Amino acid sequence: MTTYLLAGGGTAGHVNPLLAVADRIRSIEADATVLVLGTAEGLEARLVPARGYELIVVPRVPFPRRANRAALDFLPRFNAAVRRVATIIRSRKVDVVVGFGGYVSTPAYLAARRAGVPIVIHEANAKPGLANKLGARLTRHVGVAFAGTPIRHARFVGMPLRPEIEHLDRAASRPDAAAFFGLVPERPVLLVTGGSLGARKLNATLVAAARDLVAAGWQVLHITGSKAEVTDPQLPNYHLVAYCDRMDLALAAADFAVTRAGAATVSELCALGIPAVYVPYPVGNGEQRFNAAPVLAAGGGVLVDDKDFVPAFVQGELVTLLGDRARLAAMGIAAASVGVLDGTAQMVDLIHEAVTT
């Protein structure tokens, strides 16, 4: 019996691939023990127990960005976190540590190294994070979601996808999707989403151009996010929803998407062959532009800077693109050409390789 310690959390970009791997292990190894290391503040605090896994909480210890009081406290707190994880590894007889990035991954990597336990890493972003870059110095088993990711020992495995996405039959699910969202089955669907919290610029721009999109013969499924600050335009064929817990059906309905370029979003759209306009999040280390680069190079997407994503772009360039059905079909094929549907299986194979070598 193998005991796996999966470390990661904070955002959906870390939690969802972690859960996809956990589900795959559980489905093929009935006697395996899967433990998850996370924080009390991240999404994992809700999602991991809800999925039936034991969550072991460690303190959130972010690396200091400047010299201040927090920086002085960092090293003792960080060392305490490493000792805590090392104790968990010993007491629970952990056979392998699998990290997905985020605050808890760094102490997990160092504790595993001290305990002589194999380390496996999955890097979801095309521009790797600090925790995984450090961890990649301690192992040769590093899976990446995007080819060409600049991290040591990278092996392209793709993104571990949620089972409901990995096994989605879009054509067969479209009638259910239309019924679920109240869509017209014969009318093409533009999916708009900025993530669970939404994206202010995407939301405002699309609502401002709502009439033009509907007049172009499309219907819009606009998932605003739970903290959106937009008003429903109250137009036929424009469906505004704050939150969607059936993204599989939303993706089954979609003929085209307008979205941010988070790693999971790009990976899911490409795996399913859905073309998109990507509007990278303008804050952070710029990883979203890198995430979109492979599908853009293949011709499966269009990139628009956040500052340029204005109603005039939607009313002109986007509406024109949506009217070119031949181009949209070619873009869907191009997106699928860089998509990976079996990323979960490839990542689990890499973990098993680490355990057995």
3-state secondary structure of 144: strand
Phi, then psi, of 97 in degrees rounded to 5:
-110, 125
E strand or H helix that includes residue 89:
helix 69-91
DSSP summary character for residue 318:
I
E strand or H helix that includes residue 65:
none
Cα distance between residue 24 and residue 44, in whole Å: 18
Query: Does 13 belong to an annotated binding site?
Result: yes
Query: Does 265 belong to an annotated binding site?
Result: no
Token code pair at residue 43 = 């999404």
3 and 108 in contact (C-beta within 8 Å)?
no
3-state secondary structure of 225: coil
Q: Where are the alpha helices (DSSP H) in 94-146?
A: 105-115, 130-135
Q: CB 50: neighbour CB atoms within 10 A?
A: 10
Query: Does 196 belong to an annotated binding site?
Result: yes
Query: Does 24 belong to an annotated binding site?
Result: no
Closest to 17 (Cα-Cα) out of 166, 130, 126, 152: 166
Query: Does 288 belong to an annotated binding site?
Result: yes
Angle at 342 between CA 302 and CA 273, to 5 degrees: 30
Cα distance between residue 161 and residue 257, in whole Å: 18
Cα distance between residue 63 and residue 324, in whole Å: 48
What residue numbers does the annotated binding site for UDP-N-acetyl-alpha-D-glucosamine cover?
11-13, 125, 162, 196, 288
What residue numbers does the annotated binding site cover?
11-13, 125, 162, 196, 288
